[in-house]
Structure 1
């Protein structure tokens, strides 16, 4: 199982009312936000 699949399963276990599609959407959006933060931090370091 991939790390993504594991995270989806953990989220569903923690919140049983979520469907698998909803959990996938949440994880995907969270990953996108984390990626944007990493890029912002790396761009900030390049400016100096």
Structure 2
């Protein structure tokens, strides 16, 4: 059983009124939100890194 199938089965067990297609859609939307959140966090980290590099004095010039 794949990880997705296991999560779908768990969701259907918890909410028996859902169809399998609805459960898959819910999990796909959740995964998309997680990807967006992860990407935003990564971009924020890259921006901080760039700012820190600009503020750091160049030691090669001395």
TM over 0.5: yes
TM-score tier (shorter): over 0.9
Gaps of 5+ in 1: none
Between structures 1 and 2, the one with greater helix share: 1
**Alignment RMSD (CA, Å):** 0.4
Structure 1 length-normalised TM? 0.97
Runs of 4+ in 1 over 3 A off after TM superposition: none
Gaps of 5+ in 2: 49-62
Count of aligned residue pairs for this structure pair:
48
Structure 2 length-normalised TM? 0.76
